[in-house]
Structure 1
């Protein structure tokens, strides 16, 4: 592979927008085995596609000093063709080579995350690469294949070659806003509709348990022993077959049952201005026995009035750990960290690119009717 450059200066720090992702691919920094789909490049990320085969492995792993292919050879239980579609069962771990490989310049790094629809199905998905020591993090200058680790937790899912469960962002330099810059941006753009927003270490996001929907609906709890979900099928499944409604209680609290999966919504309406990208990160692992938000990327324009958003709730994918835990209305459960874009994307989230969750409130994944 030849050296790849985007001719970025040292002051061009930030997340690459759509047209620069396309330029990176054209220069050979992203190497797909087949042409990109028309909507594969998003405002600040690239959807990653599953390849032709899935390997069921004995356990999750990080490759460390080896390649992923070497670990697959050691740990594979059996191989499954995805060319005509295959069901990935709950409780199993699969490794799938992706159709996209990388040959990154020495000054471009990358980070991956599950797509929103993936997280809302409780499909635990992470990206791994050769000789990395952390999930979803690709060092600058990496050259090699990418793989998805997939473990459905609640619903069995039907996937096929080309299915998109993960997305990847590309970054030049350090562009994370510090507390002072974040306070200034919030004062200018009102990132959440709260007069007393906590912006000390990212914008605090709290859970709404007061009753957002008809009949005091605050969320949904996933049912067990359901049918499968085809990840390509939109509006194909009825909600009661897969979800139980969760109603508000008089005390505005919710007891999370161990190992159950919930869809809740933030109390705050969120927006991401066009020149910034955003990510949900855990608030503090010491404040509660639960995990929030498997899919953390928010693209430029999410909830933004100029892109048809007018503010949008952050949907929270919540799973309790080993013990029951009480969530209370208004409890902070995550933080939004903002990064600069190198340039404004050509197309914002919500502007004609199949954005499923613009102006959302409490919303299940696109696979469910209503």
Structure 2
């Protein structure tokens, strides 16, 4: 019982439980997830929606469609608009296997809200056992307009057999055996993590997205000047004030370790500590930050959006938690060890599209 590893995902493909046109390529298979690819057409819709029980996404598109966009050759998805894109992959899940989706790390760091939608769906990003049908991505660029093409991979899907989440007692035992963070572990319905606003050197603690910028081509890696898209945030007293509606890239104080037989997902902390959201992309693969995969602990990058009122965020404040899950089996490849992983050993870091 647990999260299915890369070799199990390949077996699902071989059995026809995961199909795609064109066929899935090996680069899509990650240690504990499968990257999903955009299809050739996008629907600009009036509002975000779920299909609902007994309804098809295609039916609802007819209700909410404003116009269609051909993505072949590239097309711009405008900031503040909502789009639905059929994905190249489809599922025929067996009973006992459920799925959960999330935005990829680079997608979240661009404030590119991307969620999975299915037929009969009553939740985003959650797929019940036995689902048979197509997959769609709902995409809403929040800070930057983006240029996309068919085949781009903005979100990923993880498959689970049975109960995979570790309880607090199991998490404490795992931390005692293989430390999950450097220093004391705050464990309460997951592993708590806090924000770093007192860096070891200097006073740069994060970045805030600028409101009026150019388009970002998602195929361009390391090609954009950060100063044209981001305002650096400095803190000399260990605190910053979050502006309502603004998007920030910050970093966790803790260096995180994900052992090879486990995966993790970032989850929000209690809403009572402040009206802000701390993540848009939340999968941590086996081996992330772990010594077995060439890591020495990796900070968690926090994608933060404040709601309602200005909010004071202080150094060391707990802002989220990592929910650890056991793998069904150890992956053949670990994050950072055998893959060209962009964020192994990371600290405060923008998405891969920007120059260092």
Answer whether TM exceeds 0.5 for this pair: yes
1:267-346 equivalent positions in 2, closer than 5 A:
267-346=253-332
Contact between 1:211 and 1:247, CA under 8 Å: does it hold in 2? Answer: no
CA distance, structure 2, for counterparts of residue 354 and residue 211 of structure 1: 27
Kindly state the Cα deviation for residue 248 of structure 1 after the two structures are TM-superposed: 1.5
- Tell me how far apart the structure 1 counterparts of residues 25 and 143 of structure 2 sit (CA, whole Å): 29
Q: Take 1:288 and 1:164, find their aligned partners in 2: how far apart are those partners?
A: 32
2:44 paired residue number:
56
Give the Cα separation in 2 of the matches to 1:189 and 1:227: 45
Equivalent of 1:135 in 124, 132, 151: 124
Aligned to 1:15: 3
Measured after TM superposition, the shift of residue 286 of structure 1 is 2.1
Distance 1:236 1:121 in 2: 14
Map 1:352-363; keep pairs closer than 5 Å: 352-363=338-349
SS of the residue corresponding to residue 56 of structure 1 reads strand
Which residue of structure 2 lines up, in the alignment, with residue 241 of structure 1? 228
Look up the match of 1:9: none
Q: Point out where structure 1 has 5 or more consecutive residues left out of the alignment.
A: 1-12
Q: State the 1:285 CA deviation.
A: 1.6
2:81: which partner in 1? 92
State how 1:1-370 maps to structure 2 within 5 Å. 13-65=1-53, 66-195=55-184, 197-211=185-199, 215-250=202-237, 252-370=238-356
Cα RMSD after superposing both structures: 0.9
Mean Cα displacement is larger for which, 349-358 or 115-124?
A: 349-358
Q: 1:124 touches 1:294 (CA, 8 Å); kept in 2? A: yes
Match of 1:8 in 2: none
Alignment partner of 2:325: what SS?
Answer: strand
Q: Secondary structure at the match of 1:24?
A: helix
Question: What whole-Å deviation, never above 9, does each CA across 1:1-20 have from its counterpart, x for those lacking one?
Answer: xxxxxxxxxxxx00000010
Which residue in the other structure is 1:4 paired with? Answer: none
Cα distance in 2 for residues equivalent to 1:212 and 1:169: 35
- 1:38 Cα deviation after fit: 3.1
Deviations 1:4-47 (A, max 9, x none): xxxxxxxxx00000010010011011011112233110000000
Give the C-alpha shift of residue 178 in structure 1.
0.6
Q: Kindly provide the CA deviation profile for residues 42-84 of structure 1, in whole angstroms up to 9, marking residues without a partner as x.
A: 0000000000100000000111121111000110000001111
Question: How far apart in 2 are the matches of 1:230 and 1:305?
Answer: 34
Is the 1:101–1:146 contact (alpha carbons within 8 Å) kept by the matching residues of 2? yes
Alpha-carbon distance in 1 for matches of 2:326, 2:132: 25
**Structure-1 separation of matches of 2:119 and 2:224:** 38
Partner of 1:3: none
Contact 1:57 1:72 in 2 (8 A): yes
Output the CA distance in 2 between the equivalents of 1:19 and 1:242.
39
Instruction: Supply the distance in 1 between the matched residues of 2:229 and 2:200 (Cα, whole angstroms).
Output: 20
Q: In 2, Cα distance between the equivalents of 1:36 and 1:317?
A: 30
Shift of 1:224: 1.4
User: How many residues align structurally?
Assistant: 355
Q: Could you list the per-position Cα deviations for residues 174-225 of structure 1 after superposition, in whole angstroms to 9, with x for gaps in the alignment? A: 1110111011001111101122x21121000000001355x31100111111
Is contact 1:280–1:334 with CA below 8 Å preserved after alignment? yes
